[in-house]
Chains A and B, each alone.
Chain A
Amino acid sequence: MATVTFDGATRIYPGATKPAVDKLDLSIADGEFLVLVGPSGCGKSTSLRMLAGLEEVNEGRIFIGDRDVTDVQPKDRDIAMVFQNYALYPHMTVADNMGFALKIAGLPKDQIRSRVEEAAKILDLEEYLTRKPKALSGGQRQRVAMGRAIVRQPRVFLMDEPLSNLDAKLRVSTRTQIASLQRRLDVTTVYVTHDQTEALTMGDRIAVLKDGLLQQVGTPLEQYDTPANVFVASFIGSPAMNIGTFPIVDGAAQVGDAKLPLTRTTLAAVTPDDDGKIVVGFRPESLDIVTEAAPGAIAVEVDIVEELGSDAFVYGRVPNLDPRASFTSDHVIVRADPRDVPAKGSVVRVTVRPGEQHIFSAATGLRLPA
């Protein structure tokens, strides 16, 4: 087990004009489950491959524990790429399927046996060790494949979109399995996905990347509660946060007819570059539908109502927007009580719950103090 450190790690592909990963600084704690997440092309796979030794590091260093592995061959890094295509061999027992790679490494027989038994216990495969793979269920076979990685006792597990080829049902159950297995093994794990839900449910911490640049590292809750910039705010959470740019009028953000008051601290952080505007975000679940017109209540014209049983989502528009104002998406989304949904075509008024409003600079997109 070990820490992992990216120290200004940069990868510029031959012929590319800008880095695929740009001066990545990231410290991963011993035993931590860290998820690299971001849209396609953001550089998450490249980051993982630099750690694996598959991609060159053009600038900066990478450490596993105290050891500088920047120029070390993949197989000498003490890492395991899990969920690669592990084949199961039909004539070999489950124990041999799990342990044969240790023979290659020259481990003595008794050590191989004890490692295999230990892994089998963790994977709930003890009673199958002497059987052939044919006798196992699909899920058990998958665990044997995991066992192959576990018995090597790597210091770090690496996983690149391991669930992408599974069907939806298996994806959810395997997701839970991997997360709980990782917690039991306590091995530092770096996991790549483009799916923010996967990231939020699995990671101890999440690192959000965009265009090769690290946007924010933090726990799922931190990313959700205090996104560092507009990109993270829009990327984390489902349905996505409502985000818009609005003029500042009399110390408040003018959202349609409503005035959302801004604190003195916020206003002090606004610069001339912001051109009298500010970015405000509020999650669909941070909105309350109110019955009376209040100064901070935003009017929303209901277009569509989506009822999901436990939840309902209202998709609507804010009327009377200032010409200088705009939302980043076509619709404003409001979570509503599924037993009391507004009618299509009606106008509802919503208020943002205190403390759940997110404010960003119009010029830089960075979070401003509340």
Chain B
Amino acid sequence: MAFNITAAAPDPALLDLPWATPLADWPPDVVAALPRGISRHVVRFVKLSDRVLAVKEIAPRAAHHEYRMLRDLAALGVPSVTAVGVVSGRVDESGEPLDAALVTRHLQFSLPYRALFANQLVPDTASRLLDALVALLVRLHLAGFYWGDVSLSNTLFRRDASAFAAYLVDAETGELHPELTEGQRMYDLDLAQTNIIGELMDLEAGDRLDPGTDPLAVGEDLVTRYLALWDALTQEETVTDNAKWQVAARIAELNSLGFDVGELTMASDENGSALKIQPKVVEPGHHARRLARLTGLEVQENQARRLLNDLDAHRHDRGMTDESEEFAAHDWVANVFEPTIKAIPLDLRGKLEPAQIFHEVQEHRWFMSQTEGRYVPMDQAVQHYVDHVLRHRRDEASLIGVDTRTLPPVPDLPAG
């Protein structure tokens, strides 16, 4: 087969990469040393036209399948890495065929779970990662996606206020169906449990797991949390009296879980005394959408929650409760959010996403106020945060410049 690049928006610079060399042998000046999870295929990061790309060497059939799955997931709005293209028909200098390459965009500000465990370990990291993974798995299942290989390694995490948001990174075994059967969901969940326990046991064997974390318990927790979230989102409920209030309560509950209700069925039973209600279409991103509508800011769900809380407090403090919400939001962006971000020196802004910085400044200010026992004005909080926290953080835009030797070793274990 002739050399071929399949891409939705091909970047000519892709042609400059050394495709005639097996990926494992790409020279250090091409490759960016970034941390990654466990994988059977060879995966490398490269810097190209100011972007960082991930390249995975994989059989052509699997590469095209994964490319299509990732594009479908993007179209469905599920958090996943962005597919750039597939390079196939590669041959080395002596004319021997090489495997195809799947190219994805490196997910900015993302961290593989091993990197999260490598650093200053907050004790409930495992639990917070779990919440993010459960939310992702439920979203995938609602969208009809059977993953077939759920694991921490196949997920990337981004800070999302004090929680994490999870993104799918490996869609090789995925299948998109109009709707999943219960068997498919339960099998995926079972795989998730086994893999996560295996991954945590591996961290334990490498002395990287907080001794208070029991892998088996985390695995069980995952199943419990998944089932609870799935039920909250999809379960049919029978209401007997005060139906109007109960329907509103169910919607409010879903909103607080971060979901909007696109469709809800209500049907009365035979004798008309009870009402059955069941959400049919639920859409994640309730808070993110509300914030975007009010302010135009596009951020992750928990960050949005955080910003909305701050916005509501601002509206209250300024006595703007009689004004429209939009007006208050505009005032908050102009007088609170933007000044905070602008107070961050330019050279430090790549360390974290703006919304994450804002969240951390708020936390920092609260913390300062507690310890100093006084009201700390915003500008002082920002300055203190910049000097004492942000300056010492490594750059999470893509973690470039990090000494990867400080990260846990991730040997390549190619199949074959």
Chain A residues within CB distance 8 Å of chain B: 13-15, 52-56, 73-75, 84-85, 87-92, 96, 100-101, 103-104, 133-134, 138-139, 141-142, 164-167, 170
Contacting pair B187 A90 (CB below 8 A): no
Contacting pair A141 B415 (CB below 8 A): yes
- Chain A residues with CB below 8 A from B182, complex form: 73
9 more A-B residue pairs beyond the given contacts A54-B184, A92-B205, A138-B414, with a C-beta to C-beta distance below 8 A: A53-B187, A87-B38, A87-B151, A90-B202, A90-B410, A90-B411, A103-B216, A104-B219, A138-B416
18 contacts between A and B (CB under 8 A): A13-B178, A15-B178, A54-B181, A56-B183, A73-B183, A84-B148, A85-B172, A89-B198, A89-B199, A90-B410, A91-B205, A96-B205, A101-B198, A133-B411, A138-B415, A139-B416, A165-B61, A165-B62
The number of A-B residue pairs with CB atoms under 8 Å apart is 111
Distance (whole angstroms) from the CB of A157 to the closest CB of chain B? 16
Q: Which of B359-416 contact A (CB under 8 A)?
A: 409-411, 413-416
Distance (whole angstroms) from the CB of B205 to the closest CB of chain A? 4
* A85-B172, A89-B198, A91-B202 given; A56·B409 CB < 8 A: no
- Chain B residues with CB below 8 A from A87, complex form: 38-40, 151, 153, 195, 198-199, 413
- Chain A residues with CB below 8 A from B172, complex form: 85
Distance (whole angstroms) from the CB of A189 to the closest CB of chain B? 19
- Chain B residues with CB below 8 A from A56, complex form: 181, 183
Distance (whole angstroms) from the CB of A278 to the closest CB of chain B? 40
Q: Residue on B with the closest CB to A89?
A: B202
Contacting pair B183 A53 (CB below 8 A): yes
Distance (whole angstroms) from the CB of B125 to the closest CB of chain A? 18
One digit per residue, 1 when the CB lies within 8 angstroms of any chain A CB and 0 when it does not, for chain B 175-196 equals: 0001101111011001101110
Contacting pair A75 B416 (CB below 8 A): no
Instruction: Give complex CA distance A14, B62 in Å.
Output: 26
Chain A residues touching B, majority SS: loop
Contacting pair B409 A96 (CB below 8 A): no
- Chain A residues with CB below 8 A from B173, complex form: 84-85
Instruction: Give complex CA distance A248, B76 in Å.
Output: 59
- Chain A residues with CB below 8 A from B184, complex form: 54-55
Q: Residue on A with the closest CB to B181?
A: A56
Distance (whole angstroms) from the CB of B151 to the closest CB of chain A? 7
Q: Is B169 an interface residue (CB 8 A)?
A: no
Contacting pair B148 A88 (CB below 8 A): no
Q: Residue on A with the closest CB to B202?
A: A89
Instruction: Choose one: A75, A133, A138; the contact of B187 (CB below 8 Å).
Output: A75
- Chain A residues with CB below 8 A from B195, complex form: 87
Contacting pair A142 B206 (CB below 8 A): no
Contacting pair A84 B193 (CB below 8 A): no
* A96-B201, A138-B414, A139-B416 given; A74·B151 CB < 8 A: no
Instruction: Give complex CA distance A55, B206 in Å.
Output: 39
- Chain B residues with CB below 8 A from A165, complex form: 58-59, 61-62, 415
Contacting pair B205 A74 (CB below 8 A): no
Q: Residue on A with the closest CB to B195?
A: A87
Instruction: Give complex CA distance A314, B415 in Å.
Output: 39
Q: Residue on A with the closest CB to B39?
A: A87
Q: Is B247 an interface residue (CB 8 A)?
A: no
Distance (whole angstroms) from the CB of B413 to the closest CB of chain A? 5
Q: Residue on A with the closest CB to B203?
A: A91
Contacting pair A55 B183 (CB below 8 A): yes
Contacting pair A74 B179 (CB below 8 A): no
Instruction: Choose one: B178, B183, B193; the contact of A54 (CB below 8 Å).
Output: B183
Instruction: Choose one: A55, A104, A134; the contact of B194 (CB below 8 Å).
Output: A104
Most buried by A among B148, B184, B415: B415
Contacting pair B179 A167 (CB below 8 A): no
- Chain A residues with CB below 8 A from B61, complex form: 164-165
Instruction: Give complex CA distance A52, B149 in Å.
Output: 16
Instruction: Give complex CA distance A164, B201 in Å.
Output: 31
Distance (whole angstroms) from the CB of B148 to the closest CB of chain A? 7
- Chain A residues with CB below 8 A from B181, complex form: 54-56
Most buried by A among B187, B190, B197: B187
Contacting pair A74 B183 (CB below 8 A): yes
Contacting pair B149 A84 (CB below 8 A): yes
